[in-house]
A and B are shown apart, each in its own frame.
Chain A
Amino acid sequence: MTNAEKYNQAFCEALEIAEDQLEGLEYQGIEQWDSVGHMGLIAALEDAFDIMMDTDDIIDLSSYEKGKEILAGNYEIAF
């Protein structure tokens, strides 16, 4: 699985959504992505990439696109 696929899978599973909903998706943009869903999403991403995210990155991850930027910039994950 490529990193992009892993990333999408983590989102889809944690937030119970389909892949075509991912683009442009933002925190609180859907009911499932509230603070509870957010913690599930972070756990899924940490598992998928075997990383431990910093607090500041966890609270900064406010959209599908922003998450990629953070993982690429701070955790050396190439998309």
Chain B
Amino acid sequence: MIWDFQKYRSDIAILDEYGMSLTYGGLYEEGRRLQEAIGRRCLAFVLCRNETGALAGYTGMLNGGIVPVLLNSQLDRSLLDNLLKAYYPAFLWVPEDMREQFPEMGLIFSSNRYCLLKTGYPEAYPMHQDLALLLTTSGSTGSPKLVRQSYKNVLVNAQAIAEYLALTEAERPITTLPMNYTYGLSIINSHLLVGAMLLVTDKSLAQKEFWAFFQEKGATSFGGVPYTYEMLDRMRFQRKDLPSLRTMTQAGGKLTPELHKKFAEYAKETHKKFVVMYGQCEATARMGYLPAERAIEKYGSMGIAIPGGRFHLIDEAGTVITEPGITGELVYEGPNVTLGYAERGEDLVKGDERNGVLQTGDMAKFDSDGYYYITGRKKRFLKIYGNRVNLDEVDCLVKEKFHHMPCASAGVDDHMVLFITDGGLVEKVEKYVSRTLKLNPAAIQVIAIEEIPKNDAGKIRYTELEKYYSPKD
């Protein structure tokens, strides 16, 4: 059991934009009903929306030993089918209005606009006893690669977050991120631990309804990816009077130092806290944070390791770097480092493959005070609006769809550039990628070039493609 809901039983746990609410006692009861209906430890897919029903289902499963896979409810259907075939979940927990999309599955019961469907798959894969939860690594490409998180992972990370942010039951965080996204989920997990009230909405910060809900219910905090803060800045959010707001957190990619400074200064002037943080799904959620009181002095830094964790850097030979200012790969050690990946149902039985150590794939340096700065990335992926997009997977998707047309994707965060060789397909490829990955076309540029540059070994020379766009530093 992760959460002791009975401890706060008469307090409101969830209040959503539709006026639905659940107390902690209600959350406990909802969980029990779901656990009884399912009746055993098994795998279940949750098609997530930021709604009461989705949250009650997730917490009920996690507290009852049922292993949820959290997916976005808008995930492309063919990608969902691939995942179903790879893992054979016993149940689905889906929004009621999606029920007819699964006519072959039996309805067990409905609650809070969600319903439990029995998949009827004859097979099920055995699962390791420590396995608590599975999350996707790159939300929208539909890759079957999932991160295996243990009960201990979820609990210790939520505790660490509650500790460094000094969360109490007086908090009222408003959702700005999907619950199936590790950062969004960490906000939910940590606040349910301390008995706070979650204000749950799927509306975006660009909508009036979001702010009306925010102000009416007195939200005290929200989290955002870099794009969220760019948007807030362009909306001239700083001029908005939000007396209930106490804390803004940022993760999901590196914010520009200018914006970091700007929001840190805004927070100081308005007596709020701005906390830049660092994390990955592979470390449950959080690894580092920059304490709010150092935000202005150390802007551009993602800070120090969370309580219970440790950072160090290694050079290419694997030797630990001890001098400040030298870039190396960031390594994290802590009890929130997850068990490993699963790529198919057979992997669910695997135990801990990382032993508490994670090579993050991010390049970083530290200053003489031991504060860390992310400088780049080792692996081929971008963060688009906070979501990790694996570029090799994008290449595969395009090649599959367009009859093995040569394709190489590259770009910078929030701006993916795809190179193809058929000028007549530029628009089609852009549409296909933006629809399939559910990304705004503004984030995608398709450029036709004569030939994809390759080296003698046939490997794509990505650096040569950089002249077509402006890579960071």
Contacts and interface: CB of A to CB of B under 8 A. Distances in A.
Interface of A: 16, 27, 31-32, 34-40, 42-43, 52, 54-56, 58-60, 62
Given A43-B234, A54-B236, A55-B237, A16 B441 contact: yes
B440 A32 contact: yes
A59 B211 contact: yes
Interface in B196-242: 204-208, 210-211, 227, 230-231, 234-237, 239-240
A60 B208 contact: yes
Contacts of B206: 27, 35, 38-39, 58-59
B440 A55 contact: no
Contacts of B311: none
Contacts of B211: 59
A55 B442 contact: no
B443 interface: yes
Contacts of A60: 208
A78 to B, nearest CB: 25
Given A31-B438, A54-B239, A56-B208, 19 more contacts: A27-B207, A31-B441, A32-B441, A34-B204, A34-B440, A35-B205, A36-B227, A36-B442, A36-B443, A39-B230, A39-B231, A43-B234, A55-B235, A58-B206, A58-B236, A59-B206, A60-B208, A62-B207, A62-B208
A31 B439 CA distance: 9
A3 B240 CA distance: 29
B235 A58 contact: yes
Contacts of B239: 54-55
Contacts of A40: 442
Contacts of B207: 27, 35, 59, 62
A31 B140 CA distance: 15
Given A35-B231, A40-B442, A55 B208 contact: no
Contacts of B385: 36
Contact of B234 (A32, A42, A54): A42
Contacts of A36: 227, 385, 440, 442-443
A18 to B, nearest CB: 14
A59 B442 contact: no
Interface residues of B, number: 24
Nearest to A43: B234
B73 interface: no
A66 to B, nearest CB: 10
Contacts of A58: 206, 235-236
Interface in B379-426: 385
Contacts, number: 59
Contacts of A32: 440-442
Contact of A55 (B240, B434, B441): B240
B294 interface: no
Contacts of B231: 35, 39
Nearest to B234: A39
Given A55-B240, A59-B208, A37 B442 contact: yes
A21 B207 CA distance: 21
A16 B440 CA distance: 11
B436 to A, nearest CB: 11
Contacts of A43: 234
B313 to A, nearest CB: 34
Nearest to B236: A55
Contact of A35 (B204, B236, B441): B204
Among A35, A52, A58, A62, the one with the most B-chain Cβ atoms within 10 Å of its Cβ is A35
Among A37, A42, A59, A60, the one with the most B-chain Cβ atoms within 10 Å of its Cβ is A59
A54 B239 CA distance: 9
B435 interface: yes
A60 to B, nearest CB: 5
Contact of B434 (A31, A38, A42): A31
Contacts of A42: 234-235
A4 B236 CA distance: 26
B462 to A, nearest CB: 25
B440 A37 contact: yes
24 contacts: A27-B206, A34-B440, A35-B207, A36-B440, A37-B440, A37-B442, A38-B204, A39-B231, A39-B234, A39-B235, A40-B442, A42-B235, A43-B234, A54-B236, A54-B239, A56-B208, A58-B206, A59-B205, A59-B206, A59-B208, A59-B210, A59-B211, A60-B208, A62-B208
Among A27, A38, A52, A54, the one with the most B-chain Cβ atoms within 10 Å of its Cβ is A38
- The 5 residue pairs across chains A and B that have the minimum distance between CB atoms: A36-B440, A35-B204, A35-B206, A38-B206, A59-B208
A28 B210 CA distance: 14
Contacts of A55: 235-237, 239-240
Nearest to A52: B236
A27 B239 CA distance: 24
